[in-house]
Chains A and B, each alone.
Chain A
């Protein structure tokens, strides 16, 4: 069965520091999709990125970047020059059929 592991339960950094959130997954599927979502204190899950298993190119969106490595089954997320508004719980997810399998989340605290 599919599994997603986010080993970092909580990370605390000072504003403007770079921070990387780790995500390791397990799947027997050859075609699959990975996702990152953000859940701010308000509670609503916000979609950040989708990546399919055939596209290993790293992606950058403003201060956010993602590093997908099939060889290590990892899909890590880096925030550059963090800001207080980045404080949230971040979830990594993997599709299993039509449903998503979620990691336990990493709580990111950005201190001013």
Chain B
């Protein structure tokens, strides 16, 4: 399977705990994105990497959220001191750079987080 993969698919945690999600992009894709999606809404941008550099981060992103992409391959998204409002689907997407065009993003299946 050469698509975007995410682990775990589901995570249930208690309020105040830390959680970490992993995303493995399509191998030749150098751009990687994290989004959050709640029920009945479109995805909400969280952050973006080009290779290992985190180039953009949403102003809405709390300092409890941190993302890394060591060596420009897989990425991790960590949420510290989770709150019930963090319950959502966390989506990862990747795309390839081709000249100056903006290419489509391919999405993984998501990690559904439930904070009790």
Contact = CB atoms under 8 A, between A and B. Distances in A.
Contacts of A50: 102-104
Nearest to B110: A43
B31 interface: yes
A108 B31 CA distance: 31
B42 A104 contact: yes
B105 interface: yes
A2 to B, nearest CB: 11
B89 interface: yes
Contacts of A37: 107
A44 B93 CA distance: 11
Interface band, chain B: 20 to 34
Nearest to A9: B40
Looking at A4, A45, A95, the one whose CB has the most chain B CB atoms below 10 A away is A45
Interface in B26-49: 31, 33, 40-45, 48
A98 B31 contact: yes
Given A44-B107, A45-B107, A95 B43 contact: no
Nearest to B46: A99
Contact of B42 (A52, A95, A102): A102
Nearest to B108: A44
Contacts of A46: 107
Given A43-B110, A47-B104, A47-B105, A100 B89 contact: no
Contacts of A98: 31, 48, 50, 55-56, 102
- Shortest 5 CB-CB contacts between residues of A and residues of B: A102-B42, A45-B107, A99-B45, A33-B102, A50-B104
Given A33-B102, A97-B56, A104 B107 contact: no
